[in-house]
Amino acid sequence: MKKEVILYQKADGTYPVQDFLDSLPGKVSKKITWVTSLVEGLEHVPAQYFSKLSDTDDVWEFRIKLGSNIYRVFAFFDGRYVVLTHGFPKKS
């Protein structure tokens, strides 16, 4: 089944992930877009980029590493959709 990545929209109409992406340098945004295309295009995405968080019901994580920086974007599945909820730079 083909997956489609979409952004979670809050009741007030805002998209938390879009705000996060807009705050990032261009190279990071491009890499997140590339990882998103992997998730949409591949049946099995390498765990270094996309994996289920242990001890959760169904929370998934996009992990983006650029240089010594790591960025995480959380998501969940809703049918064929992968819904991105929020992101943050990992500090430790």
Q: What is the pLDDT of residues 4-42, one digit of tens each?
A: 999 999 999 999 999 999 999 989 989 999 999 999 998
Measuring CA to CA, which residue among 53, 38, 39, 46 is closest to residue 82?
39
Strands 81-90, 4-7: pairing is parallel
pTM of structure: 0.87
The pLDDT score that the predictor gives to residue 83 is 96
Asked if residue 1 has pLDDT above 80, the reply is no
Question: How large a percentage of the chain has pLDDT more than 70?
Answer: 98
The pLDDT score that the predictor gives to residue 92 is 63
CATH architecture for the domain at 4-90: 2-Layer Sandwich (3.30)
16/20 Cα distance (integer angstroms): 6
The pLDDT score that the predictor gives to residue 86 is 93
